[in-house]
Structure 1
């Protein structure tokens, strides 16, 4: 299975008010493992960034002035996500903006769902943790994911963090470590460095349950069956 964890930054909150995407960050998972492949692009939105949005992500109009327009990067972006299952936190927001960008092209590309399936990790988190805070920062705290480098929102860094959270939230393991160090890209803007564990590290030892443990597990399942009137989700 190929999955792409995606995040965007925008000029404001509503595409219906003319707001546009200014940054896209994606990381790739194959069979629930980070591959090291990613897509990252800043985009000139051809309009001003709202002051409130700038306070969230820190991306200025001056920084975006020499960046490519969306129609110049749309094919590379689409090539990266095509056929994947997208993992997005609060998916309607990001998908709505991408659909809007597709619609603005001279030859409309249709909608994201024409190319990808979409999983909303926010909906998943609310189902798993009802009545609790389920922002990305809250999930980082709950699953002990280090987000200390996240002073401002950034699409690639947030996608990296969400990949970590998603794997932990869905019972998987992750090889993503975030360092507090930062480097600079060729534009001079600070970028958070990412350190990963070696791909050739020894495999984790798998210890199967023995007969006594399986029998105890079955007894527990029967107790849950009885208490839940047959609505046992572990069957």
Structure 2
């Protein structure tokens, strides 16, 4: 099963108010494992960058001024995601900006039925807890020490790890890929287990010598209790 984890950075909170998408990062998963394939792009929004937005992701209008417009990279992005489900944190936000940009440049919008929202999953799994990406990475022990500011590809990579944990962790994919499977193949995660030596079953049946010693001992008993019991 192929899935795409993605994240966006924007100039603000509402595409209907003129805010634009300025960065997108995608990570490919197959059977909930990262394949190493990614997609990343910055886009020139053709507008100023509000200071509060720049403080979050560090992308200035000057930095973005020589980057392509979204319509110039839309075809490559659509080719990368194909028809796979799309996973994002607070996904309605990212879908809103993505579909606004696609609509603006004449491409069909991405159907909302493809959306998987890790924020909604986290709220179900951990009601009452903090559900930010940072808080959830801390909960699941995902290293985010290199995350100084928001970045679309970095956040997508962190989210890919978080998504796997939210869906049950690495144990969901213990079997080897088909081309590696075989009679001698060991499940992933079991190949480093130290083999255990199985000892042969011990026999507890008395030997003839033990039976003879027991009979000799019983013969020495004087008026044993069982001799007074009626047959």
- The superposition leaves residues 103-131 of structure 1 with CA deviations (integer Å, 9 ceiling, x where unpaired) of 111xx2222117x7110000000000011
TM-score scaled by length of structure 1: 0.73
Q: CA RMSD in A?
A: 2.0
Work out whether residues 32 and 172 of structure 1, in 8 Å CA contact, stay in contact via their aligned partners in 2: no
Within the candidate set 116, 119, 123, 2:120 is matched to: 123
Gaps of 5+ in 1: 175-199, 208-235
Aligned length: 179
Secondary structure at the counterpart of residue 112 of structure 1: coil
- Is 1:70 matched with 2:55? no
- Kindly indicate whether structure 1 or structure 2 has the higher relative contact order, using CA contacts under 8 Å at least 6 residues apart: 2
**Partner in structure 1 of residue 82 of structure 2:** 82
**Partner in structure 1 of residue 55 of structure 2:** 55
Structure 1 segments (4+ residues) deviating >6 Å = none
**Partner in structure 2 of residue 137 of structure 1:** 134
Could you tell me how far apart the structure 2 residues matched to 1:86 and 1:11 are? 22
- Is 1:2 matched with 2:8? no
Query: What is the CA distance between 1:37 and its match in structure 2?
Result: 0.1
Secondary structure at the counterpart of residue 152 of structure 1: coil
**Partner in structure 1 of residue 153 of structure 2:** 156
Could you tell me how far apart the structure 1 residues matched to 2:104 and 2:60 are? 23
TM-score scaled by length of structure 2: 0.74
**Partner in structure 1 of residue 162 of structure 2:** 165
Gaps of 5+ in 2: 172-179, 181-186, 194-231
Could you tell me how far apart the structure 1 residues matched to 2:9 and 2:118 are? 17
- The superposition leaves residues 159-186 of structure 1 with CA deviations (integer Å, 9 ceiling, x where unpaired) of 0000011111111229xxxxxxxxxxxx
Bigger strand fraction: 1
Larger-Rg structure: 2
**Partner in structure 2 of residue 95 of structure 1:** 95
Within the candidate set 179, 189, 192, 1:204 is matched to: 189
